[in-house]
Structure 1
Amino acid sequence: MDRLTAMETFVSVIEAGSFSGGARRLNVGQPAVSKSIAQLEERLGVRLVMRSTRGLTPTEAGQQYYERAKRAIEEIDEAELAARGSAAGLSGRLRICAAVTFARLHIVPKMKSFLTQHPELNVDVVLDDRNVDLLEEGIDVAFRMGALDDSSMTARKIGQSARFVVGTPAYFSAAGIPRTPAELASHQAIVYEQRGGGTAWSFRRGSSETAVAVGGRMRVTAAEGVRAAVLADLGVAVASAWMFAPELASGEVQAVLTDWALPPIDLWAVFPTGRMASAKARAFTAFVEATLGADGAAAAA
């Protein structure tokens, strides 16, 4: 049995979630894929996948084999890319992960130029406001905001955005424009219940610092919900310039208390621990960093 082919077949089956899906990815028949996995399990002497009516999932041994096989395939691709020279295009599959709103506004609309530049490359975009397990999800690079929980992660800061208190002109017309942070206590706050959110909003102006406890009738667990609530005139929110970039530019949303500064938010490219970032991941990270710089979205506070 060709060990590399067996590895590629197994990785394709796990990522597709079925033998048939893996066969389609590899453009081979399903019987050939099933036979290859059976032979691999026989050679290793362990069961790698559990089959059910809902598809298949890797066993513990299968998950470990998947992670190492994927890493080995990527390193072989890296070696071939280096041998062909840096002018060679990227190919294969790249899995990225990003928060829903950030990706919708700043990554997905710009993907055409990256895909055009690399016609042999396919990209899986995993959208999740939570910090998913990169190894478990097979992610090559994730884009995360704020402080990183795990200092052992391989990460690179690629941008920073100012944050503001924002609301619509219609909301401020009805509720009044706050002139000091303390006045926010009487406003309806859209509370974001994820990292970087909460009901304690801290401000700085010169050497002065102040914090205010806000409250409101709406709490949401995704940035898309914050956007929808603000645009529906339901209240004010603390948000990065990234989150409301189009509306801040058009005036549909306005920032208030701009003479007070909120802590800025950092954007990190995070790579799976213990693995060298692939050429594909590095290229896409550079693309996102350049895109934000060109748009002026990564404005330092």
Structure 2
Amino acid sequence: MDRLEAMSILVAVVEAGSFTGASRRLKIPLPTVSRKLADLEEHLGTRLLTRSTRRLTLTDAGTTYVVACKRILDEVGEAERAAAGEHVVPKGELVITAPIVFGRLHVVPVVSEFLEMSPDIHVRMLLSDRNVHLLEDHIDVALRIGTLPDSSLVATRVGSVRQVACGSPDYFAKHGVPQEPGDLANMPCVTFDVLGSPMTWAFTGGAKGRNLTVAVRSRLSVNTAEAALAAATVGVGVTRVLSYQAASAVQEGLLRIVLEAFEPAPLPVYLLHSTQGALPLKMRSFLDFAAPRLRGRLAAGQVGVRA
């Protein structure tokens, strides 16, 4: 059995989502695809794929094995190009995930610039406020905001963002401007659950640095930052979002930030990947390109609303 061929077929099946799609992509007969994967599973002594009439699902062993296959195939391809004396260039598909608003505002421009200088790379972007699983969802690079749990993932910090409380000027003219976090308990608020419990907001105690938790009065609860900001700009209540999410509305005068002295510590921003050791050239190229650019945007205050 040609194990590299079998690995290539397995990766093609996973990426295409079906045996038929892999057969078309690789231009080999469908029975050959099925036989090669059956031979691979027999060789490994374990099942890699669970087959049903509607979809293919990787087993736990299959998920781990596919990640290793991609790394091995990338390394073999790079070694072959180097041995042949060719100029080594990054190539292949790169899968990137990021939070929806941050991705749209800041990751997409960086990726677009990267693609201009990398003609042999194509990118698939998954924008989601859910933290997708890098191995299970076959993600190469993830941008994450917040403290990371201990894991085997490799993290590169590119900066931080603030958690800000804000409301419209008309709202504050009607209800007054809160001078300390406790004032929010008596003010209508717009809440959403991405930053933790929607009904309690955490602050620090100003100069003393004590942690404060305020039970807010939610007039409207939503499930996205954009909806919260839209409601806040028309005066429904005070909301709390990440600084880059509110930046445009603050700059246009639609929203005003309050309680800045009581903001909790800024949240770190990271680029994550799961590969240890030598990275595939496409990933190394993107990380080397994206990290300083994202770091520069954050440091320059383009993501935040306060330099």
Q: CA-to-partner distance for each residue in 1:22-52, whole Å, 9 max, x for gaps? A: 3454465655534543443455455432332
- 2:206 — aligned with what? 205
User: d(CA) in 2 for partners of 1:28 and 1:221?
Assistant: 46
Q: How many residues align?
A: 301
Counterpart Cα distance in 2 of 1:44 and 1:113? 42
1:13 CA displacement: 0.9
1:1-301 equivalences in 2 (<5 Å):
1-26=1-26, 30=30, 32-41=32-41, 43-44=43-44, 46-79=46-79, 88-150=88-150, 152-195=152-195, 198=198, 199-207=200-208, 209=210, 211-213=212-214, 214-272=216-274, 274=276, 276-295=278-297, 296=300, 297=302
What is the Cα-based RMSD across aligned positions, in Å?
3.2
Over 3 Å counting, the alpha-carbon distance change for 1:53 and 1:294 in structure 2 is same
2-structure distance, mates of 1:146, 1:138: 22
CA distance in 1, matches of 2:82, 2:238: 51
Please give the alpha-carbon distance, in whole angstroms, between the structure 1 residues aligned to 2:35 and 2:138: 24
Unaligned stretches of 5+ in structure 1?
none
- Describe the shift of the 1:44–1:89 C-alpha distance in structure 2 as closer, same or farther (beyond 3 A): same
Aligned-residue offset at 1:173: 3.8
Give the 3 Å change call, closer, same or farther, for CA 109–69 of structure 1 in structure 2: same
Distance in 1 between residues matched to 2:277 and 2:226, nearest whole Å: 32
- Asked whether the 8 Å contact 1:191–1:216 carries over to 2, the reply is yes
Separation (CA, whole Å) in 2 of partners of 1:233 and 1:196: 23
Q: Distance in 1 between matches of 2:124 and 2:133?
A: 16
Give the alignment's TM-score, normalised by structure 1.
Answer: 0.83
Cα distance in 1 for partners of 2:189, 2:10 equals 49
Shift of 1:194: 3.3
Change (3 A) 1:248 1:281: farther
**1:55–1:12 CA distance, 2 compared to 1 (3 A):** same
Q: Using the alignment, how far apart are the partners of 1:234 and 1:288 within structure 2? A: 38
* SS of equivalent to 1:142: strand
* Compared CA separation, residues 248 and 22, structure 1 to 2 (3 A): farther
Rounded to whole Å, the distance in 1 between the matches of 2:136 and 2:187 is: 42
Most deviating of 73-82 and 210-219: 73-82
Q: CA separation in 2, counterparts of 1:3 and 1:86?
A: 25
- When residues 156 and 175 of structure 1 are mapped into structure 2, their CA distance, relative to the original with a 3 A threshold, is same
Percent of aligned pairs with the same amino acid: 38
Q: State how far apart, in whole Å, the 1-side matches of 2:75 and 2:127 are.
A: 26
Q: SS state of the match for residue 191, structure 2?
A: strand
Q: SS of the counterpart of 1:50?
A: strand
Contact 2:63–2:135 (Cα < 8 Å) also in 1: no
CA distance in 2, matches of 1:240, 1:101: 10
Q: TM-score, normalised by structure 2?
A: 0.81
**1:216-241 Cα distance to aligned partner (Å, 9 max, x none):** 13334444443444345432222222
CA positional deviation for 1:242: 1.7
CA distance in 2, matches of 1:258, 1:193: 21
Pair 1:217–1:139, CA change in 2 (3 A): same
Gaps of at least 5 residues in structure 2 are none
Q: Tell me the CA shift for residue 161 of structure 1.
A: 1.9
Distance in 1, matches of 2:253 and 2:237, equals 16
Checking the alignment, whether the CA contact within 8 Å between 1:154 and 1:270 is kept in structure 2 is: yes
Residue 84 of structure 1 deviates from its aligned partner by 8.2
1:125 alignment partner, SS class: strand
